[in-house]
Amino acid sequence: MNEISVAIVDDDALIVSLLNDFLQKQEGIRICSTSGSGEEFLEMLEDKKQVPDVLILDLKMKKTSGIEVTAHLKSAYPEIRTIVMSSHYKRSFMGFMLKTGVAAFVPKGISPQQLIEIVNEVYQKGFFFLSDQLEIIREQVSSKAPAPKLIENNSLSEREIEILKLICYQKTAKEIGEQLFIAPRTVEGHKNNLFIKTGAKNIAGLVIFAVQNNFIETADIPLI
């Protein structure tokens, strides 16, 4: 697996120091930047100094909040996979977090080992759900989110539907390619077409689209 570049943004200097020291020691992970505020991180991105694969972001910070950071990243840097890790974690925020393009939303009380697993899952598959979050997604996305822009089922090819379902089953491009006997590059091409056709900005958006349009049931999405 390629080395994962990770950025940390939190206005608690102790948290930043502990996360930095811990993650730097993990094989396959490289800390590319640490920031004590949202505005510092966004300024760094604008200077093109470091664009991380994965961002670990606090939610409540002075001046620029985590919510404002995610809103900017969704439009300007959709390739960055954001893990919001907050002491203000509430399951009721889950639907909103997904709509802002967050790949994972977890409490600061998670174990260090679980954090490593989350970083790897988010990097490889684009999203991570805690076991109690799927029901929240069902409630919030299906009943409270704005009506989706529906597309006709036949506007997706059979192959695209196959790949959409396998993405929801948390399969990587390599795993999908092996199962369907096609190259990973071909899988990525179909995935890009899915983004264009569905309007989704990230993998979590594809999962939501698949649920909303009855391609898959939330109960069928495997728990991590």
* Alpha carbon distance 107, 58 (integer Å): 10
Strand partners, 85: 106
DSSP letter for 154, please: G
CB 87 within 8 A of CB 108: yes
pLDDT winner (highest mean) among 23-32, 69-78, 209-218:
23-32
Question: Residue 169 corresponds to which amino acid?
Answer: Y
Split into its structural domains, the chain has a count of 2
Same-domain pairing of 70 and 152: no
The token pair at 95 is 């639907």
CATH of residue 89's domain is 3.40.50.2300
The percent helix, strand, coil of the chain (3-state, each to 5) is 50, 10, 35
Same-domain pairing of 32 and 54: yes
Question: Residue 86 corresponds to which amino acid?
Answer: S
Whether 46 shows a pLDDT value over 60: the answer reads: yes
The token pair at 190 is 């179909």
The token pair at 91 is 């399951």
Same-domain pairing of 188 and 216: yes
156: containing domain: 141-220
Same-domain pairing of 15 and 86: yes
Task: Supply the pTM of this predicted model.
Answer: 0.64
**Per-residue pLDDT reduced to its tens digit, 94-140:** 666 677 778 888 888 889 899 999 999 999 888 888 767 766 666 65
Element of type H or E holding 30: strand 29-35
* Alpha carbon distance 81, 125 (integer Å): 10
CB 102 within 8 A of CB 84: yes
30, part of any domain: yes
Same-domain pairing of 63 and 119: yes
